[in-house]
């Protein structure tokens, strides 16, 4: 933090009062003066009150003038630079929470987890990295609903994603409704920044909107859709109860590919946690975060403080001249000597 003056040139006016000494003083005629027969008797007190010669009033007058100049120069307290994130993409994430997302065919380390747990794990990191983007979350099953509206609060979006529960929206899959709801939320955003990432492990089996018609509407609204098919391939894995087959799903890849193609997006297939991580890394490159390039420095005006002090000192000076207050004894003695 530092103090700066908005109009530093004002201090060049400091010698201005000295010009008063160069102005010609009008000589008043004796006939225009007030005649006091006993002037010699009141002269000492008159001089001590109305014509102070102490250095204190002069110093006060100079200080008041400096304070007035300081206030006029507009002192400002400039704070440290604060980066201001530029609004980047308006990005909706639509996550399938239908019953089929409970299949345990995704592996994190050596542990088999459900498809939804894998999505939460990787999507959470993706959301955290999208600094500067407006993010929204839609959950869909038989129905689609907005879990988080578009916001720059990435932490809240992550929490709401983590709280998503299987079957909360029904056991079927309504891909078309999820796209339609996303379009509605993105419609008010800038044209070039509308993005939808849709994750599902099945085919459209519910809802009122056909996915391909929803894709056509998304193309008209300039919404790019990136579709991600979730689900491991069929394979045998060793469990405490012996070997068992996992993986496989009713994923409608042709429809997901066409949705992405119609809107200028791209289709990805996530067979495991590693491929899902790679997909999000690719998305970071395709839809890069807009870097922070603007900085804000908070400014607090300080002119009121020197101005208030100048007013108080002016009141003090007027009281000195009027004789309502007395100077300290040392200054008063010096003043009387000068008188």
pLDDT digits (tens, 9 = 90+) for 301-335: 999 999 999 999 998 888 877 766 655 555 555 55
Query: Which structure tokens are listed for 173?
Result: 């899959």
| pLDDT of amino acid 17 | 83
Residues 97 and 139 sit within 8 Å (Cβ to Cβ): yes
Return the domain boundaries, the chain.
2-17+37-79+298-338, 85-286
Beta carbons within 8 Å of 166's beta carbon, 6+ residues apart: 97, 98, 99, 101, 102, 114, 116
Cα angle value 29/34/37 (rounded, 5°): 120
Express each pLDDT in 154-164 by its tens digit.
Answer: 999 999 999 99
Please state, as a whole number, how many other Cβ atoms lie within 10 Å of the Cβ of residue 180. 20
Residue listed under structure tokens 């004796």: 30
User: Which contacts qualify for 260-263: CB closer than 8 Å, 24 or more apart?
Assistant: 260/225, 260/226, 260/227, 262/212, 262/215, 262/216, 262/218, 262/219, 262/225, 263/196, 263/215, 263/218, 263/219, 263/223, 263/224, 263/225
Residues 126 and 273 sit within 8 Å (Cβ to Cβ): no
| pLDDT of amino acid 54 | 56
| pLDDT of amino acid 174 | 94
Rounded to the nearest angstrom, the gap between the alpha carbon of residue 213 and the centroid of all alpha carbons in its chain is 38
In this structure, what are the phi and psi dihedrals at residue 4, rounded to the nearest 5 degrees? Answer: -130, 160
| pLDDT of amino acid 74 | 92
User: What is the pTM for the complete model shown?
Assistant: 0.60
Please name every residue paired with 296 in a beta bridge, in sequence order, or none if there are none.
Answer: 82
Residues 201 and 116 sit within 8 Å (Cβ to Cβ): no
Residue numbers of the chain with a pLDDT score lower than 50: 26-31, 38-39, 41-42, 45-53, 236, 243, 246
Name the DSSP letter for residue 130: -
In CATH terms, is domain 85-286 a member of 3.30.360.10? no
Query: Which structure tokens are listed for 181?
Result: 């709801």
């Amino acid at each position: 933090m530092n103090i700066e003056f908005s109009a530093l040139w004002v201090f060049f006016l400091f010698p201005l009062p000295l010009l008063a000494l160069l102005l010609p003083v009008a000589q008043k005629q004796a006939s225009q003066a007030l005649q006091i027969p006993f002037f010699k008797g009141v002269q000492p007190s008159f001089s001590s009150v109305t014509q102070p010669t102490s250095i204190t009033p002069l110093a006060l007058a100079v200080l008041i003038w400096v304070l007035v100049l300081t206030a006029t120069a507009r002192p400002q307290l400039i704070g440290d630079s604060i980066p201001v994130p530029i609004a980047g993409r308006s990005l909706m994430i639509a996550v399938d929470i239908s019953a089929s997302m409970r299949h345990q065919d995704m592996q994190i380390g050596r542990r088999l987890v459900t498809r939804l747990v894998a999505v939460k794990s990787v999507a959470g990191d993706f959301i955290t990295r999208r600094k500067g983007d407006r993010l929204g979350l839609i959950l869909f099953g038989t129905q689609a609903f907005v879990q988080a509206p578009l916001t720059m609060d990435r932490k809240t979006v992550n929490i709401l994603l983590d709280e998503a529960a299987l079957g909360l929206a029904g056991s079927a899959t309504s891909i078309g409704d999820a796209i339609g709801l996303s379009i509605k939320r993105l419609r008010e955003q800038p044209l070039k920044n509308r993005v939808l990432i849709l994750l599902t492990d099945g085919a459209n089996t519910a809802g009122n909107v056909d996915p391909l018609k929803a894709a056509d509407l998304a193309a008209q609204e300039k919404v790019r859709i990136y579709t991600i098919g979730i689900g491991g391939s069929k394979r045998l894995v060793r469990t405490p109860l012996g070997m068992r087959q996992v993986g496989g799903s009713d994923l409608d890849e042709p429809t997901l590919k066409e949705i992405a193609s119609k809107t200028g997006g791209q289709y990805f297939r996530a067979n495991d946690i590693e491929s899902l991580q790679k997909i999000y890394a690719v998305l970071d490159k395709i839809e890069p975060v807009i870097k922070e390039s603007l900085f804000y420095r908070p400014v607090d005006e300080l002119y009121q403080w020197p101005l208030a002090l100048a007013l108080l000192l002016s009141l003090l000076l007027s009281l000195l001249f009027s004789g309502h207050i007395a100077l300290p004894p040392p200054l008063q003695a010096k003043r009387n000597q000068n008188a």
